[in-house]
Amino acid sequence: MRGGHRYAKHSGVRAALHRDLIRSGRLDSSWGRIYDRVFENRQRGDCQELVVFDTAHANELCEEATAFVAQMRQLLSHDQEA
């Protein structure tokens, strides 16, 4: 995203991800959909009462989040080499 910027809210990070990485073509849009899915489930878990995620759903979200972090590391590594 933009070097040196800080974001006060998770929604700011989400907006920057889409603006700076997805729309620019630096990152495939599928990663934006994964981020959105994990983000929305996090919001549900934090903001709604008595939300229950079944084990399979939670495992799927963890796998997607892990893959997303790996993709971000690869992108950062590529940026540092350039």
Contact between 39 and 7 (Cβ < 8 Å): no
For the stretch 14-68, pLDDT in tens is 999 999 999 999 999 999 999 999 999 888 888 778 888 899 999 999 999 999 9
Contact between 41 and 61 (Cβ < 8 Å): yes
How many beta carbons lie within 10 A of that of residue 64, not counting itself? 17
For the CA atoms of the chain, what is the radius of gyration? 14
What is the value of pTM for the model shown? Answer: 0.78
Long-range contact pairs involving 43-49 (C-beta distance under 8 Å, separation at least 24): none
For the stretch 22-33, pLDDT in tens is 999 999 999 999
Contact between 64 and 41 (Cβ < 8 Å): no
For the stretch 65-79, pLDDT in tens is 999 999 999 998 887
